[in-house]
């Protein structure tokens, strides 16, 4: 698929997800209306406010102090700090449009919705939406931190909190965005000579998928183990403005968190570990199919595809955790979905590394010659 054809659905998707997130942020005002608790229970209202806060352009008074970094401004209402908050949100919405546009342009071009690729195109675009949201809140976080009036205080932990704040709203907005983007892409691809599915030798493809999955497992199994994760978070005790990078590293390195079965029943422990195995299985299967889905196995396409595979595996594990979660009766039904979108920074870190490792393994193991495939 040519760039000229791919840019149309990418633009449509970028505009749609930006509008959906802007609309979601504007809806925070509605949750402050009297009588809202007669529709939702108080716990669900509080959870919805937390979801929407990172995308709230005009922050209500309740969110101006004591809330998440991603939705805070100075409690005193200083014009200077309010302007910083407005600037941060402008950067955030422009960034989410740009990041989604760039990723969707690459994905739609390399995995066009033809020749049986439509489900794969839909899934990778859906997975890319939380990544674009995470990158957007990351680049806009310094302005939001400064808008609190004490930007030099615990800046790295504050940045870590902002990075983790994009929330489940990007997952839900991303699903609708992916559907619309694929529909537009199917229209724009008509009349173009479809590239056939490429044949990839099974052994190199399996080996590349195994190497890429091992990279993801490093985060999920090794770094996310409780004692290792605690060491990562507490090993930095130096003073100064840039102290305590452990919180920031935790966001970008840990896909989960687990410990031995001593802290819970063996049955529950095995159930949660089975969910982690499913995450790795989804990643392996996606990486196994990815070289055959791409019109050309380039390094950027494999890296972005591996990121999407990791996010899909993470989302699958979070949905399974929702099925075995019993906190809905305590915190409200909305709380069940609160884990969606968590771990995306680490999925981005190790997804890129997994994609690079997979494409290197594929080439060394005798996979198809990337230079010989047109497109």
Q: How many residues does the chain have?
A: 375
pLDDT bin (cut points 50, 70, 90) of residue 360 is very high
Sign of CA dihedral 305, 307, 308, 309: positive
300-350 pLDDT tens trace: 999 999 999 999 999 999 988 888 876 656 666 777 888 888 999 999 999
pLDDT of 237: 66
What distance in Å separates the CA atoms of residue 182 and residue 115, rounded to the nearest whole number?
Answer: 14
Taking CA 15 as the corner, what is the angle to CA 109 and CA 315, rounded to the nearest 5 degrees? 70
For residues 201 and 366, the answer to whether their CB atoms sit within 8 Å is: yes
Mean of the pLDDT values across residues 53-76? 53
Q: Is the pLDDT of residue 32 over 90?
A: no
Q: Which residue blocks in the chain are alpha helix, DSSP H? A: 3-26, 28-31, 42-52, 79-110, 118-146, 155-163, 169-188, 202-217, 226-234, 246-253, 266-293, 299-324, 328-331, 344-364
pLDDT digits (tens, 9 = 90+) for 249-299: 889 999 988 887 776 677 778 888 899 999 999 999 999 999 989 988 899
**218: Cβ contacts below 8 Å, ≥ 6 apart:** 350
pLDDT per residue as tens digits for the range 193-234: 666 667 778 898 999 999 999 999 999 999 999 889 888 888
Dist CA 329 CA 103 (whole Å): 39
- Quote the CA–CA distance of 181 and 103 in Å, as a whole number: 12
Model confidence at 3, pLDDT cuts 50, 70, 90, reads: confident
DSSP structure class, residue 225:
B
Tokens 């070289």 — which residue?
A: 291
Residue 41 has pLDDT above 90, yes or no: no
Among candidate residues 44, 86, 81, the one with its CA nearest the CA of residue 65 = 81
How far out from the chain centre does Cα 242 lie? 26
């Amino acid at each position: 698929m040519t760039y000229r054809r791919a840019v149309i659905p990418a633009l449509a998707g970028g505009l749609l997800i930006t509008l959906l997130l802007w609309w979601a942020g504007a809806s925070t005002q509605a949750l402050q209306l009297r009588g809202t608790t007669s529709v939702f229970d108080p716990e669900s209202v509080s959870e919805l406010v937390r979801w929407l806060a990172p995308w709230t352009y005009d922050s209500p008074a309740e969110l101006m102090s004591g809330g998440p970094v991603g939705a805070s401004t100075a409690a005193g209402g200083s014009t200077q700090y309010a302007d910083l908050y407005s600037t941060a949100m402008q950067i955030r919405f422009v960034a989410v449009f740009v990041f989604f546009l760039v990723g969707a342009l690459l994905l739609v071009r390399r995995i066009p919705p033809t020749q049986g690729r439509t489900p794969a195109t839909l899934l990778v675009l859906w997975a890319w939406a939380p990544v674009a949201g995470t990158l957007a809140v990351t680049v806009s976080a310094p302005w939001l931190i400064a808008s609190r009036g004490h930007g030099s205080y615990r800046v790295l932990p504050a940045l870590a909190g902002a990075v983790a704040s994009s929330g489940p709203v990007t997952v839900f907005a991303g699903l609708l965005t992916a559907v619309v983007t694929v529909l537009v892409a199917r229209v724009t691809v008509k009349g173009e000579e479809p590239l056939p599915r490429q044949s990839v030798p099974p052994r190199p493809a399996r080996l590349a998928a195994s190497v890429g999955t091992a990279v993801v497992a490093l985060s999920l199994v090794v770094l996310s183990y409780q004692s290792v994760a605690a060491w990562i978070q507490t090993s930095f005790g130096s003073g100064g403005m840039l102290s305590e990078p452990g919180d920031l590293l935790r966001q970008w390195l840990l896909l989960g968190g687990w410990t031995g079965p001593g802290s819970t029943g063996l049955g529950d422990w095995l159930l949660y570990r089975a969910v982690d195995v499913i995450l790795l299985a989804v990643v392996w299967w996606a990486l196994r199919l990815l070289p055959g889905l791409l019109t050309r196995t380039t390094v950027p396409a494999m890296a972005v595809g591996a990121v999407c595979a990791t996010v899909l595996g993470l989302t699958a594990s979070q949905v399974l955790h929702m099925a075995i979660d019993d906190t809905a009766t305590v915190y409200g039904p909305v709380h069940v979905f609160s884990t969606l979108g968590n771990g995306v920074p680490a999925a981005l870190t190790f997804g890129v590394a997994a994609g690079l490792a997979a494409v290197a393994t594929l080439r060394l193991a005798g996979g198809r010659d990337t230079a010989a495939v047109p497109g």
